[in-house]
Structure 1
Amino acid sequence: MIIPISEIASDTLHSLVEAFVLQEGTEYGEEDFSLAQKVNHVMLQLHNGDAVVQYSELHETVNIVTKDQLAHNQQAPNL
């Protein structure tokens, strides 16, 4: 289920994005970026609609995914 960012309190959204960029494996290439820069980049993607906040009812988890990842996940067969 996609959760519109307008329905998430700004402090909660910021914390969610911060936790997302701190996850191991979140890389931005060879250039080093500060935590604030990474958070701003993801926030921009969310506000532009290039990424969404997705809630999994099955796993009771929240994640941030790109529109491309979302489309790919919806096309994948259920195993």
Structure 2
Amino acid sequence: MIIPFDQLDRQTLFNVIEAFVLREGTDYGEQEVSLEDKIQQVHGQLKRGEALLVYSELHETVNILSRDQLPRD
């Protein structure tokens, strides 16, 4: 189930994005990117619709997926 990110409390959204960024451990290449910058990048992707908040009823978890990662029905 897709969760509209703009319906979450601001702090809750920040916590979800922060947990995602810390869990993903994405490699940003040779340049070091701060945690705050990574959070802003993910937030921007959510605003642009490039990424979505997805709730898994099976696992009872929230994750952030790129639009391309969503399963096609």
Long gaps (5+) in structure 2: none
Match of 1:38 in 2: 38
Bigger Cα Rg? 1
| Identity across matched positions, percent | 53
- Where do 1:56-71 residues align within 5 Å? 56-70=56-70
Q: Which one-letter code corresponds to 1:48 in the other structure?
A: R
Q: Which one-letter code corresponds to 1:53 in the other structure?
A: L
Match of 2:8 in 1: 8
Cα RMSD of the aligned pairs, angstroms, is: 1.5
Distance 1:36 1:51, change over 3 A: same
Cα shift at 1:52: 0.3
Distance, in Å, in 2 between the alignment partners of 1:24 and 1:10 is: 21
Match of 2:52 in 1: 52
Partner SS, residue 62 of structure 1: strand
Long gaps (5+) in structure 1: none
Query: If the length of structure 2 is used for normalisation, what is the TM-score?
Result: 0.90
Q: Which one-letter code corresponds to 1:13 in the other structure?
A: L
Structure 1 residue runs of 4 or more that deviate by more than 4 Å after TM superposition = none
Partner SS, residue 29 of structure 1: coil
Query: How many residues are aligned here?
Result: 73
Query: If the length of structure 1 is used for normalisation, what is the TM-score?
Result: 0.84
